Amino acid sequence: MEQTPEAAPARRIDFRTDPSRYRHWRVTHDGPVATLTLDVDEEGGLFDGYRLKLNSYDLGVDIELADIVQRMRFEHPEVGAVVMRSGKDKVFCAGANIRMLGQAAHAHKVNFCKFTNETRNTFEAAGVESGQHYLCAVKGSCAGGGYELALACDYIMLTDDSTSAVSLPEVPLLAVLPGTGGLTRVTDKRKVRRDRADVFCATEEGVRGKRAAEWRLVDEVIANSKFDETVAERAREWAAKTGKGDVKGAGLTGIALTPIERSLQDDGSLAYSTVEVAVERDKRIATITVHGPDEDAPASVEALHAQGAQGWMLRLARELDDAILHLRLNELELGVLVFKSQGEGERVLAHEAMVMASASTDWLSREILLYWKRVLKRIDLTSRSLIALIENGSCFAGLLAEIPFACDRAYMMEGDFEGDNRPVAAIALSAANFGPLPMSNDLTRLETRFLGEPEAVAAAAGEKGVALEACDASRLGLVTEAFDEIDWEDEIRIMLEERASFSPDAMTGLEANLRFAGPETMETRIFGRLTAWQNWIFNRPNAVGEQGALQRYGTGQRGAFDMKRV
């Protein structure tokens, strides 16, 4: 996974997949109930050097899961309950593959943990957002990341036998944390008592049977003889709660998520239909240019459905999401992501207005907005310096204006530039900037930006629909700085050179601290702790040294620890 500034990695990770290529999951549908079976192909690891035994997983398994969850929302809106279960005897899931973690580069481990948590957040939120509730049917050992899959579900059922148990054994076995998401969901979501959680996380064999239910580690313990019958009954009950267990649910028809087309150049640059990524490897910079729509907004909900995945808003969300994931995992030394846009802001606002107006009554409009919420959060959580350049001809309007608001800094061209016949740079705000696309802290990006100046949010709201040029954008505090033709090129060059020269470790810490001002949520705690604790622990010799627990796992020898507390 490591790379040098001169060359991209020899083997890139591709986040694009579809059901015909799944190796680890099976999906079946029965009206409003879907069943998601984890049956990992031991020989199907993303890289060489390990086997995915005991239904353990690597990034490839999670890439498939993320695709399934996405398709469930868009292709199967009739589904109200999704049952997650194992296809193997006596094991639900052993969690992240230990051999994979032991040999993976540090950056891969951390990015892998981040992606798995983002994926779990997606199906965890699906019940409230999309009326698709995930239920976990645990039969066999459910350990570490396997239990984290269960924790993200709305309801956990555990069979009552001698082999079925839930556990977070990473501390005693591997000298690492239970994914941070596991620890946080145990205390914040399931509200397990602190001392019981302490005992649970220090016990290799985990907790089974009635004690698991008493400690709130699961919701229901079921006799083995009645397990399948009860699981089916609970799934029908949860589907009925959403209204999808009747004819209303049966009337919903999904759209096909057609393949994301892109071209990848030798220098690492990417081209999609709505997104371009230009790579300057010597400068450690990637420039992401988002293109506004060429066509008018669909005239009706029916027209939006007819466009399917080729409609501009959904197509752009999918392509931008893929580009961000590609850069995260495959371009580790491109430390600065520069966001630009080109197009007509009025058309952007028209497409957005159509979807916003119908989101309360049309499932596809709602799902498009929810997808944009997830994509913008993905940008927020990306450990790179994020810089927005609002140039002439840009279309940072409405939901696209959330991109510069997500960035660490935003710079804007001021006035006319000689020889540039594009429209003068402007930002336009809309209702999308004031509620439906919150950050992980449950505040909008403008509320987070103006945490100490709530009146500034109100002032910005009063300018909705207005094309705000540099003077007004600066007055409202929407940009970091504006430069005219004389200063633009030099100021931007100096700023980018400086940013790319800083320590990436210092930048990761700085940015993660500054981006999420305001109240804590379970989500900010998960990712904040992931950045701080997993980054640190995954570098410590107690875990990854030659005699560390990750390296010695399975050898019969326990890790040799430096016992000094730090």
pLDDT tens profile 200-216: 999 999 999 999 999 99
Q: What is the mean pLDDT of residues 228-249?
A: 83
- pLDDT band of residue 80 (cuts 50, 70, 90) is very high
Q: Which residue has the higher pLDDT, 245 or 367?
A: 367
- pLDDT band of residue 146 (cuts 50, 70, 90) is very high
Q: What is the mean pLDDT of residues 481-489?
A: 97
Q: What is the mean pLDDT of residues 325-331?
A: 97
Q: What is the mean pLDDT of residues 489-514?
A: 93
SS3 (DSSP) at 322: helix
Q: Helices 106-124 and 59-75, interaxial angle, to 10°?
A: 20
Q: What is the mean pLDDT of residues 424-435?
A: 98
Q: Which residue has the higher pLDDT, 18 or 9?
A: 18
* Beta-strand runs (E) in 224-360: 263-264, 270-271, 275-280, 285-291, 336-342
Q: pLDDT at position 63, please?
A: 98
Six token digits for residue 123: 């199906």
Kindly tell me if the per-residue pLDDT of 92 is higher than 80. yes
Give the list of residues 6+ apart from residue 230 with CB closer than 8 angstroms, or none: 157, 220, 222
CA dist., res. 339 & res. 382, Å (int): 13
Q: pLDDT at position 566, please?
A: 74
Give the list of residues 6+ apart from residue 390 with CB closer than 8 angstroms, or none: 341, 396, 404, 410, 411, 412, 413, 425, 427, 473, 479
Q: pLDDT at position 531, please?
A: 66
Q: pLDDT at position 370, please?
A: 98
Q: What percent of the chain has pLDDT over 90?
A: 82
Kindly tell me if the per-residue pLDDT of 552 is higher than 90. no
Kindly tell me if the per-residue pLDDT of 33 is higher than 80. yes
**The total number of residues written for the chain in this structure:** 566
Kindly tell me if the per-residue pLDDT of 537 is higher than 90. no
Kindly tell me if the per-residue pLDDT of 5 is higher than 70. no
pLDDT digits 0-9 by tens, 37-78: 999 999 999 999 999 999 999 999 999 999 999 999 999 999
CA dist., res. 361 & res. 279, Å (int): 42
Kindly tell me if the per-residue pLDDT of 1 is higher than 80. no
pLDDT digits 0-9 by tens, 175-201: 887 766 888 999 999 999 999 999 999
Whether the CB-CB separation of 105 and 56 falls below 8 Å is answered with no
Which numeric CATH code is attached to 19-245?
3.90.226.10
CA dist., res. 39 & res. 26, Å (int): 7
Region(s) of the chain under CATH 3.90.226.10: 19-245, 263-511
The per-residue pLDDT of the chain, averaged, comes to: 93
Which numeric CATH code is attached to 263-511?
3.90.226.10
* Beta-strand runs (E) in 281-400: 285-291, 336-342, 385-390
Kindly tell me if the per-residue pLDDT of 481 is higher than 70. yes
Q: pLDDT at position 4, please?
A: 33
Kindly tell me if the per-residue pLDDT of 157 is higher than 70. yes
Six token digits for residue 467: 């094309």
Q: Which residue has the higher pLDDT, 340 or 562?
A: 340
CA dist., res. 41 & res. 37, Å (int): 12
Of 74-78, 413-417, 526-530, which gets the smallest average pLDDT?
526-530
Q: Which residue has the higher pLDDT, 559 or 229?
A: 229
Q: pLDDT at position 550, please?
A: 81
SS3 (DSSP) at 339: strand
- pLDDT band of residue 6 (cuts 50, 70, 90) is very low
Kindly tell me if the per-residue pLDDT of 540 is higher than 90. no
Q: Which residue has the higher pLDDT, 405 or 529?
A: 405
- pLDDT band of residue 246 (cuts 50, 70, 90) is low
CA dist., res. 566 & res. 176, Å (int): 15
Kindly tell me if the per-residue pLDDT of 154 is higher than 50. yes
Cα dihedral 197, 199, 205, 209 sign = negative
